[in-house]
Amino acid sequence: MGCEMVSMPFQIPRRSARLRSEAPSLRGMAPGGEGVPATWTTGAKDGIGTSFYNPDQGPSLSNVWYTLSGGTLTEVYYPDVSCANLRVLQLAITDGLSFSDLEETDTTHKVELVFPDALIYRQTNTAKSGKYRIEKTYVTHPQQHALLVLVSFYALVGNVADYRQFVYVNPVMNNGGRQVHAEIYSDDESTVLLTSSSDKSMAVAASAPFVKASAGYAGVSDGLSELKQTFDLGSVYAYASNGNVTQIAQVQPGGEGNQCTYTLAIGFGPDEQAAVKAATTALADRFEAVVQTYRTQWQTYLSQLSPPPTGDTVQYNVAVMVLKAHEDKRHPGAMVASLTIPWGDKVVSTEGGIGGYHLVWSRDFYQVVSTLLSIGDRPLAKRCLRYLDEVQQQPDGSFPQNSWLDGTPYWRGLQMDQVAFPILLAYQLGEIARYPTLVKPAADFIVENGPFTAQERWEENSGYSPSTLAAEIAGLVVAAKMAHDTEDLRSAALYLATADDWVRHVKSWTLVNNGPLSEQPYFLRISDTQNPADGHWIEIKNGGGWRPKDEIVDAGFLELVRLGILAPDDPVVTHSLDVVDEILRYDAPYGPVWKRYNQDGYGEQSDGSPYHGNGMGRPWPLLAGERGEYEVAFDKSPQQTAPTHLYGPRKLLATLAGAANDGYLIPEQVWDGNPVPQRNLYPGGGTGSATPLAWAMAQYIRLSQCIRQGRIVEMPDEVVERYHTHPADLGPAVQVECPDFAAISAQRGIRVCGQTAPYATVLLRGDSAEVTLRADAQGRFEGEISLWAVGENIFHLVGYDNHRSVSVTRWMVFYQPKSVFEMSDPVEDDNGPGWLIYPTHSDFKAGDFDLCNVRILHDDKYVYFEIGLRNLDNPWEGPTGISKQLVDVYLHLPELGEAGQTKTRGLRAQFRDDTPWHRLVRISGNWHGEAQVYRADGSVASEVLIQPQYTSRRISARVLADALGGYPTAKWAVMVLVAGEENGGPRPVRVTASKWDFGGGSPDGAHSDIIDMMVPDGMYQRDLLNWQTGPICLPMLRLS
């Protein structure tokens, strides 16, 4: 006969501050210092769960999320989805005489979903010795911040009285950190395990009594070693603080039969009293009643959505519930990527603030939210859009690489697709009210900063990415529709003109012709420049080294199909798929799965040990879903060309389901090596990265919907219509009549007039000036615009029919303000003192650092510095249009009355004491924000606007006159120094030239990094830069 222990609530002590510490038998502080180093647990979860929450019904009463792995309870999140408060909770079993087991290591594990329509999981752990079995069923209490665990212990040999059961807890509070206090507390009748850190507390209680309990430090005084040695817990301690703390308690369920059942409760609160109350109140309810309420809430949610159209109903339901479970309850609308820490068993938990995947990425966010919208959860999608608009979007319109729930950026990388996806979500929802606050700022940011992206969707490389381009183009097209609908005709014209231009170039920027992987054209993963055939190498992050970019491919180009830009049967798409299949496909036991890209290093090591900064990238199941979406679209296309392999959308849907574990959770990556049982790695099974990945779960749902509807459900109609079904006609032509093309103006402000179609919108747009004009009934337009650079000022003229057609032409004016200083420099003296050597990489061309002339000019607001070089190009796509050069303009400005500086900024030279510099205008590619105007104390005085002019091989730099103390006078002195740029500073000169470094320097570092400079009359560069004759001391040239 079994013995079931009913709920036995504790008496909460009548004290407002803390529970009183127990037990005369308890010693004080546990020994062991901080304990052994602590880590989180693997990212491979077998189950997750939380109570359903509808924000429309008021504040959540149950802010607890649990995760399961390896037969144990792992990270539990409270009070939101970003904050983990537990490492592991499990049972230790001993007979008191001959053995001591731990569930994690001494049992075999099985997990199952208890019901097909609720996130309730049961773990079954069977002793490897065959002596006992433990079943644990998990459910969060819908009205309490508490998790309940129904524990059933089965004696397979003997009866329950022959065994002693211990609850072992290894808490890691408040998302990590050492400031944790673990204590054993009791009232007159019951004992509770209590842990606190800052404003969060956790209490572990049971319906059966804890007859013996101790706090300690992991690996030292945690009780487990003593159980292994003596099969009993003899040394018990009252508390442990500041380290890897633990608690252990013997639970006494009673009974003489072969089965016994009791309930554990893990309660949370802002303080100890609240945590204990949550645990004890939850215990007071019948477990079965809690399960019924919990299940009913999830059933109701599922019933309101589109039913599973195809495939596995249970898998579909779990995917839907898992996605909803990733929405935070304190920040409604915030969706994290996964309730995991990838390879958490290698991530130190005593370092606070670990983000793992429980952060908000707007890309993953979009994949999840757009999927839930497609099956009918419109209220959630609107909450999520509000979150993006009001919480996560940055003031400049961009979105951070990822963020905490309150919008604070965690990683600060910039990924342009993550700026575009929120626009697409707003369009899908028809939320025109979000146009001025979210859509327009994001679209403007894309226009100003795209198509180049600092990181592509794999968060690793900068350049021109097919997948990023697809999102940018689609985002701009739908933003133009919303702009038109709100009568923002200027923005509509700009967005359409930009999108059309990028569509025309997407293949030339990202397509390899006759490359090393195929004689036929194929898309590469990313090109660092607009020329995919320039022979450049890219760095493969995560330890992958440097590889020729035309040898690295991924399937990101399918986004061009999914978002309606390219046709599914476009020959370059179908052939690129053949390349991808040959290089990236892995045939798992259940179907084909693809890796992100070749040479990927984000995954386990070859022996299965966890990723720790490097490894081998493994196949991602979600990519099978993306391939399935492509095949849905291909089935509806004319199929003029086809990839060699067509797997079938339903087969690929089954592949996604096949990748799921026993808890129906789909992993980020699956193992593609030989079995490694000791690490729980098996061919086609999930790795330690992240299970579940919300994006992968969403992909299953979305593919099933695509199959049901026979189309890609989120393909924007506006994009398809523009580039396929009803291509837009060429917009109204724009003819500028004044001033003439290439006219020379001595004035910064100019009047522009011309002719176009009646009532058309005309947009004149340059790098730093813009004006929007509206033609009259005769098609005349007139307005004023300001020039911004000495020399060429190139405008794009956009004509817009105020509906969907645009035209773009190029127009140019030369600007020549008043010149106050001009000087020429000898050519071919770009060798420092006469013997420095250029770096050997082919991107460095003769004349790159050869200063030819310098001019200083000004108008009524700005001072301009014009630098002429023997060669000027931009092979690395520097943000300012400059890739290789660092040009420093040092100014001696005695009229400022400020202290000067004689040392150069990183060039290893100094100026004479009688002419220190007061301002430095640094001109570079601005890769790291270094292109600024600096004061002598190193502070920034203002920005500098840099405009390269490749035809004339000149760089124009514009600075506010006020930042220099006024306009140039005869008392000013100047020196221009030219060096190479690297990582925001000077490119080093070494003894021997190498691929990226100059050569000819001194072994002792006495040389300068200056390659060329202005030289006053009567002086010689070879003397000024010759460190062999003494320290390098530079003159300046007075403007007089």
Tell the residue number behind the tokens 């001591």, with chain if given: 100
For residue 5, is pLDDT > 60? no
Dump the DSSP string for 685-705: SB-SS-BS-HHHHHHHHHHHH
Token pair listed for 71: 């037969």
Q: What is the mean pLDDT of the chain?
A: 95
Calpha distance 43→338 (Å, rounded): 9
- Choose among 338, 356, 455, 327: nearest CA to 399: 455
Q: Which residues 6+ apart lie within 8 Å of 847 measured at CB?
A: 827, 828, 830, 869, 870, 871
- Verify whether residue 981 is a known catalytic residue: no
CA 541 to chain centre: 14
Number of C-alpha atoms within 13 angstroms, CB side, residue 714?
A: 34
Calpha distance 344→338 (Å, rounded): 13
CB 577 within 8 A of CB 568: no
φ, ψ for residue 212 (rounded to 5)?
Answer: -155, 135
Calpha distance 627→619 (Å, rounded): 13
Catalytic residue among 103, 104, 327, 456: 456
Calpha distance 484→804 (Å, rounded): 9
> Three-state SS across 860-907?
CCEEEEEEEECCCCCCCCCCCCCCCEEEEEEEECHHHCCCCECECCCC
- Choose among 87, 88, 130: nearest CA to 107: 130
Calpha distance 467→558 (Å, rounded): 7
CA angle 878, 884, 885 (to 5 degrees): 110
Percent of the chain with pLDDT over 70: 98
Q: What is the pLDDT of residues 672-724, one digit of tens each?
A: 999 999 999 999 999 999 999 999 999 999 999 999 999 999 999 999 999 99
Give the confidence band of 27 by pLDDT, cuts at 50, 70, 90: confident
φ, ψ for residue 963 (rounded to 5)?
Answer: -70, -20
Q: How many CB atoms neighbour CB 350 within 10 A?
A: 19
Q: What is the pLDDT of residues 755-787, one digit of tens each?
A: 999 999 999 999 899 999 999 999 999 999 999
515, β-bridge pairs: 518
Q: How many CB atoms neighbour CB 740 within 10 A?
A: 9
CB 452 within 8 A of CB 414: no
Strand 910-911 versus strand 1033-1034 pairing type: parallel
Calpha distance 65→50 (Å, rounded): 5
| Residue spans of beta strands (DSSP E) within 424-578 | 511-512, 522-523, 537-540, 545-548
- Verify whether residue 103 is a known catalytic residue: no
End-to-end CA gap in the chain: 107
3-state secondary structure of 250: strand
* 411-429: average pLDDT: 97
For helices 694-709 and 621-635, the axis angle rounded to 10 degrees is: 20
Q: How many CB atoms neighbour CB 427 within 10 A?
A: 25
360, β-bridge pairs: 403
Residue 160 per-residue DSSP state: G
For residue 313, is pLDDT > 90? yes
Q: What is the pLDDT of residues 261-302, one digit of tens each?
A: 999 999 999 999 999 999 999 999 999 999 999 999 999 999
Give the confidence band of 311 by pLDDT, cuts at 50, 70, 90: confident
Q: Is 395 exposed, middle or buried (0-12, 13-18, 19+ CB in 10 A)?
A: exposed
- Fill in the amino acid letter for 669: Q
Number of C-alpha atoms within 13 angstroms, CB side, residue 407?
A: 15
CA-to-CA dists, residue 233 to 28, 96, 255, 831, angstroms:
16, 10, 21, 77
Dump the DSSP string for 578-638: HHHHHHHEEEETTEEEEESBTT---S--TTSPPPSS-----EEHHHHHHHHHHHHHHHTS-
Q: What pTM does this model have? A: 0.92
* 575-603: average pLDDT: 98
Which pLDDT score is estimated for 25? Answer: 63
Calpha distance 691→668 (Å, rounded): 6
Residue 550 per-residue DSSP state: G
CB 814 within 8 A of CB 745: yes
* 78-83: average pLDDT: 97
Dump the DSSP string for 1018-1033: T--HHHHT-GGGS--E
Structural domains in the chain, sorted by start: 2-38+46-51+60-300 (2.70.98.10), 304-717 (1.50.10.10), 735-815 (2.60.40.10), 821-1038 (2.60.40.1190)
Token pair listed for 872: 């000027």
For residue 2, is pLDDT > 60? no
Calpha distance 686→701 (Å, rounded): 19
3-state secondary structure of 999: strand
Which pLDDT score is estimated for 255? Answer: 77
Region of residue 35 (left: phi > 0; alpha: psi -120 to 50; beta: else): left
For helices 489-510 and 440-449, the axis angle rounded to 10 degrees is: 40
Order the strands of the 591-595 sheet from edge to edge: 585-588, 591-595, 619-620
Which pLDDT score is estimated for 23? Answer: 40
* 390-411: average pLDDT: 97
Which pLDDT score is estimated for 723? Answer: 98
Residue 472 host element (H or E): helix 466-485
For residue 12, is pLDDT > 90? no
* 829-845: average pLDDT: 97
Least confident range of 6-10, 783-787, 845-849:
6-10
3-state secondary structure of 1000: coil
For residue 9, is pLDDT > 50? no
Which pLDDT score is estimated for 984? Answer: 92
For residue 565, is pLDDT > 50? yes
Catalytic residue among 459, 551, 877, 898: 459
Strand 47-50 versus strand 27-29 pairing type: unpaired
Token pair listed for 405: 């729930």
Q: What is the pLDDT of residues 964-982, one digit of tens each?
A: 999 999 999 999 999 999 9
Calpha distance 501→672 (Å, rounded): 41
Token pair listed for 237: 């301690």
Which pLDDT score is estimated for 14? Answer: 29
CB 26 within 8 A of CB 238: yes
Tell the residue number behind the tokens 């979210």, with chain if given: 438
CB 151 within 8 A of CB 136: yes
For residue 476, is pLDDT > 90? yes
Q: Which one is predicted more confidently, 26 or 750?
A: 750
Percent of the chain with pLDDT over 90: 93
513, β-bridge pairs: none
Which pLDDT score is estimated for 422? Answer: 98
Calpha distance 204→276 (Å, rounded): 8
- Fill in the amino acid letter for 978: V
Q: What is the pLDDT of residues 907-948, one digit of tens each?
A: 999 999 999 999 999 999 998 999 999 999 999 999 999 999
CB 1014 within 8 A of CB 1037: yes
Residue 293 host element (H or E): helix 287-303
- Choose among 733, 777, 738: nearest CA to 756: 733
3-state secondary structure of 27: strand
